[in-house]
């Protein structure tokens, strides 16, 4: 059998990362399994360059900075990270431990499980233009992580939603030129002040436009051609044309669900003994869908997992005691 962990966390977003940190505080051997190739979850996808104001201790923090801080915090307790795997089954073994099996057949073994995978997995819709595969990752991006990589570069954003507007406005301060291409006649899900900021910016907006051709060598993107024949020089394409969402597999795992989410009490325990939940996947009376809420739920889930493994363990611990030697 493969190595047995005390806690295996499904999901490497901010809630999953904080769960890993707190699990380390509780002296538990921890593994994190994330479907995406990078950590950060929805914050990295949707809010990397937007300020978040509802996390305690920060008077506004960029999403990317929050992810970096929570990741650094998690790394301090040295959990094991497994990237690019989606769990299709959770099976309880005769000895009470769990076997988690990925879609590609990898198996993971754990004494407890914490589900922190939100409402399901998602991928950005890829750019549907011939030759785009040549530039994926280097010149074509589906998130705006690491804003500084666009310093002095020409950037084209392809989107008809508020996400694309946010990206374009964030790029304005670092890129040498920014174009925003919208296939529609208006932007979707935007606020009035978003449109006003866009009008007052230096971003060049192209409405009812579509990229039909990519120009460049096999290794370097040089520009795009629009459906009206206009040529735009660019170093980078940032694409947000919606998500391909795969609903959660919670039912398939044998968990009781309620409208796609997992009902729990204050101990964050699911219908399967030894499996707990934190973050957007959890549902209970007066549940708040906030990043900060996930942190509190993470602590509750980990404390429950610790008690499940060792009923004599303390119900909670205090960081001021654990890290007193660092003072």
Taking alpha carbons only, the member of 127, 21, 138, 132 closest to residue 81 is 21
Cα 98 to chain centroid, rounded:
25
Measure the CA–CA gap between 313 and 315, rounded to whole angstroms. 6
Q: What is the 3-state secondary structure (H, E, C) of the chain?
A: CCCEEEEEEECCEHHHHHHHHHHHHCCCCEEEEECCCCCEHHHHHHCCCCEECCCCCCCCEEHHHHHHHHHHHHHCCCCEEEECCCEEEEEECCCCCEEEEECCCCEEEEEEEEECCCCEEEEECCCCCCCHHHCECCCEECCCCCHHHHCCCEEEEEECEHHHHHHHHHHHCCCCEEEEEECCCCCECCCHHHHHHHHHCCCEEEECCCEEEEEECCCCEEEEEECCCCEEECCEEEEECCEEEEECCCCCCCCCCECCEEECCCCCECCCCCEEECCCCEECCCCCCCHHHHHHHHHHHHHHHHHHHCCCCCCCCCHHHHCHHHC
Residue numbers belonging to the annotated binding site for FAD: 15, 34, 42, 47, 87, 280, 320
Q: 215-237 burial by CB neighbour count: b if 16+ within 10 A, else e?
A: ebeeeebebbebeeeeebebbbb
How far is residue 195's CA from residue 229's CA, in Å, rounded to a whole number? 26
């Amino acid at each position: 059998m493969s190595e047995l962990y005390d806690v295996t966390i499904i999901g490497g977003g901010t809630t999953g990362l904080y769960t890993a940190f707190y699990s380390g505080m509780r002296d538990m051997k921890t593994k994190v399994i994330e479907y995406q190739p990078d950590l950060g979850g929805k914050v990295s996808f949707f809010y990397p360059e937007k300020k978040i104001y509802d996390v305690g201790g920060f008077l506004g923090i960029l999403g990317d900075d929050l992810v970096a801080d929570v990741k650094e915090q998690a790394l301090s307790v040295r959990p094991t990270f497994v990237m690019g795997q989606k769990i299709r089954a959770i099976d309880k073994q005769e000895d009470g431990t769990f076997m988690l099996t990925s879609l590609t057949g990898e198996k993971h073994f754990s004494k407890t499980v914490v589900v922190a995978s939100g409402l399901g997995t998602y991928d950005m819709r890829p750019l549907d233009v011939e030759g785009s595969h040549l530039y994926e990752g280097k010149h074509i991006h589906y998130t705006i992580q690491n804003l500084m990589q666009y310093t002095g570069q020409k950037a084209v954003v392809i989107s008809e939603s508020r996400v694309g507007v946010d990206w374009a406005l964030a790029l304005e301060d670092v890129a040498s030129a920014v174009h925003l291409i919208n296939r529609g006649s208006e932007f979707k899900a935007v606020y009035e002040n978003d449109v006003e900021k866009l009008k007052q910016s230096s971003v060049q907006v192209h409405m009812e436009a579509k990229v039909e051709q990519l120009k460049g060598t096999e290794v370097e993107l040089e520009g795009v051609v629009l459906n009206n024949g206009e040529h735009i020089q660019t170093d980078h394409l940032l694409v947000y044309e919606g998500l391909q969402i795969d609903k959660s597999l919670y039912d398939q795992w044998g968990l009781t669900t309620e409208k796609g989410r997992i009902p729990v009490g204050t101990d964050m325990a699911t219908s399967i003994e030894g499996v707990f939940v934190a973050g957007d996947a959890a549902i209970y009376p007066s549940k708040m869908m906030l990043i900060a809420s996930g942190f509190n739920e993470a602590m509750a889930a980990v404390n429950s997992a610790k008690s499940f493994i060792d009923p004599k363990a303390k119900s909670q611990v205090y960081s001021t005691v654990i890290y007193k030697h660092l003072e």
